[in-house]
C-alpha cells in the first residue's frame, strides 16, 4: 500500500496551479536527452470531450510524449456536450467534439472572453447495418431511413413491408446509439432533418458493442453506428448502401468505405470529427506544437484507431487556419502589453 502523506508545499503549489488560468508547470524537468527542439517544451495541456474522438486524441497524445516528454497531456471523456461546457468556461484547452459547437455553447464562450478555432481532424462514416442473413435490404434510400426513424414513425412503421412492399411482412427491430451521444445527434440531423429528434421505441445503448451484438443476433434488425464498429465486426454484420437520391455526389446507393467517406460520395452520413482550440491555449507554445503535431499525424493515427482520414490537402488547410488563429492571438496579446 502507498503511504499517505500530505505535503503542504505540494498542496499549495498544486492548488495555485489549478486555480490559475495559466497551467504552466513551474517544475518542468530539464534532464532531457537527445537533440530534438521540442524536448525542452514544458507545461500541461488539458483535453476533454467526445468519447468518439477520444481514441484519435489518445493516439496523438501517446506519440507526442516522444516528441515532447515534459508536456503533460491529459484527455477526458465527458462527452461532446460536457466537454463543450468546460471549454466555454475556460476550464480546458482543447475539446474533442463529434459535432459542431452549438449556439448556446458559442454564446457562453463569448461571454467568458474565449474565442476558438474549429479543426476537423478525421471522418467517421455512420453505417446502416442489418443481420448478415438479411437478403432483402440490399440498398436503402435516405427517404426510407427518414420514414423509419422520424418521430411520427413510432408505433406506426413497425414492419419491413411498410418501408418497401416487396420486403417481408416481419417486424422490424431498431437499434441505435443513446440520445446523449453525438452520433445520435448527427444521424437524426442528417436523416430526419432535425437534430435530436427521432422515434423513441428503439433499442438504445451508449455502448456500440451492445448494438453490434444486438444486430448480429437478430435477423429482422436494422441499426446504425460508427464505421469502426462495422469494420471490426464485418463477419457478423451486413452494411446497407445508402442512396441520398442526389446524383451530384455519386449515383445510386453507396456503401461506406475508406474511399467513399473520404471523397464525400457517402453523403450525408459521413461526418467530420473536430477538435476546438481556445484562444487562451493557442498563446502557449506547447499547445501550438501539439496542435501542429496533431494535424501532421492525424491521417495515419485516425485510420489506425478505426476512423477515416480527410483528403491530404484539408490537413494543410487546417494547419494554415490554426497558424493564422495563433498569430492573431499572439498579436492581440502583444498589443495588450504595449498599451
Residues that bind another protein (CB under 8 A): 1-2, 4, 6-7, 10-11, 13-15, 17-19, 46, 48, 51, 54-55, 57-59, 61-62, 65, 72-78, 86, 91, 206-209, 226, 228-229, 231-233, 301, 304-306
Q: List the grid coordinates of 145.
A: 431511413
| CB of 183 vs another protein, minimal distance in Å | 12
Alpha-carbon gap, residue 255 to 6, rounded angstroms? 58
C-alpha 245/C-alpha 122 separation (Å) is 25
**DSSP codes of every residue in 223-260:** EEE-HHHHHHTGGG-EE--EE-S-GGG-SS-B---HHH
Burial of 98 (0-12, 13-18, 19+ CB in 10 A): buried
Shortest distance (Å) from residue 7 CB to another protein: 6
Q: How far is the CB of 270 from another protein (least distance, A)?
A: 17
**Closest distance to another protein from the beta carbon of 85 (Å):** 10
Least gap, CB of 162 to another protein (angstroms): 32
172 or 212: CB nearest another protein: 212
**CB nearer to another protein: pick between 11 and 333:** 11
Q: Say if residue 266 is exposed, middle or buried (CB neighbours under 10 Å; 0-12, 13-18, 19+).
A: buried
Strand pairing category for 242-243 and 71-75: unpaired
Residue placing its CB nearer to another protein in the complex, 226 or 272: 226
Q: Nine-digit cell at 321?
A: 487556419
Q: Tell me the closest approach of the beta carbon of residue 261 to another protein, in angstroms.
A: 16
Distance of CA 326 to the CA centre of its chain: 23
Query: In sequence order, what are the beta bridge partners of 188?
Result: none
Give the residue carrying C-alpha cell 487546417: 318
Nearer to another protein, 2 or 31 (CB): 2
Q: How far is the CB of 320 from another protein (least distance, A)?
A: 27
The cell numbers describing 274, all together, are: 473536430
CB of 57 to another protein, least distance (A): 8
User: CB-wise, 10 or 138, nearer to another protein?
Assistant: 10
Residue 84 contacts residue 101 (beta carbons within 8 Å): yes
Complex with another protein: residue 91 or 317, whichever CB lies closer: 91
CB of 145 to another protein, least distance (A): 22
Distances in Å between the Cα of 174 and the Cα atoms of 65, 119, 146, 169, 194 are 43, 33, 13, 16, 19
Measured from the CB atom, the residue of 20 and 200 that comes closer to another protein is 20
Our CB check for another protein shows the closer of 232 and 317 to be 232
Half-sphere exposure for 135 (CA within 13 Å, toward CB)? 1
Closest CA to 126 of 301, 260, 220: 260
Among the listed residues 282, 254, 270, the one whose alpha carbon sits nearest the alpha carbon of residue 310: 270
Amino acid at each position: 500500500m502507498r503511504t499517505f502523506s500530505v505535503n503542504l508545499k505540494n498542496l499549495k503549489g498544486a492548488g495555485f496551479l489549478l486555480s490559475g488560468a495559466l497551467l504552466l508547470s513551474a517544475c518542468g524537468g530539464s534532464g532531457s536527452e537527445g537533440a530534438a527542439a521540442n524536448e525542452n517544451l514544458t507545461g500541461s495541456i488539458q483535453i476533454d470531450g467526445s468519447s468518439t474522438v477520444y481514441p484519435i486524441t489518445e493516439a496523438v497524445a501517446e506519440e507526442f510524449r516522444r516528441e515532447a516528454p515534459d508536456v503533460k497531456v491529459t484527455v477526458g471523456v465527458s462527452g461532446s456536450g460536457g466537454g463543450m461546457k468546460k471549454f466555454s468556461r475556460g476550464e480546458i484547452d482543447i475539446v474533442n467534439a463529434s459535432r459542431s459547437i452549438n449556439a448556446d455553447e458559442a454564446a457562453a464562450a463569448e461571454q467568458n472572453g474565449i474565442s476558438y478555432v474549429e479543426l476537423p481532424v478525421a471522418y467517421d462514416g455512420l453505417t446502416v447495418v442489418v443481420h448478415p442473413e438479411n437478403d432483402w435490404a440490399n440498398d436503402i434510400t435516405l427517404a426510407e431511413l427518414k420514414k423509419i426513424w422520424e418521430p411520427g414513425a413510432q408505433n406506426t412503421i413497425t414492419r419491413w413491408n411498410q418501408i418497401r412492399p416487396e420486403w417481408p411482412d416481419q417486424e422490424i427491430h431498431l437499434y441505435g446509439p443513446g440520445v446523449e451521444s453525438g452520433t445520435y445527434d448527427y444521424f437524426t440531423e442528417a436523416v430526419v432533418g432535425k437534430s435530436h429528434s427521432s422515434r423513441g421505441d428503439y433499442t438504445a445503448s451508449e455502448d456500440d458493442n451492445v448494438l453490434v451484438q444486438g444486430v448480429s443476433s437478430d435477423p429482422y434488425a436494422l441499426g446504425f453506428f460508427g464505421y469502426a464498429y462495422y469494420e471490426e465486426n464485418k463477419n457478423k454484420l451486413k452494411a446497407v448502401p445508402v442512396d441520398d437520391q442526389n446524383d451530384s455526389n455519386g449515383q445510386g446507393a453507396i456503401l461506406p468505405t475508406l474511399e467513399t467517406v473520404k471523397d464525400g460520395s457517402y453523403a450525408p452520413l459521413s461526418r467530420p470529427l473536430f477538435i476546438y482550440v481556445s484562444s487562451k491555449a493557442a498563446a502557449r507554445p506547447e499547445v501550438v506544437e501539439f496542435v501542429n503535431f496533431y494535424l501532421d499525424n492525424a491521417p495515419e493515427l485516425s485510420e489506425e484507431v478505426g476512423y477515416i482520414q480527410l483528403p491530404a490537402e484539408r490537413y494543410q488547410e487546417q494547419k494554415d487556419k490554426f497558424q493564422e488563429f495563433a498569430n492573431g492571438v499572439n498579436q492581440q496579446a502583444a498589443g495588450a502589453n504595449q498599451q
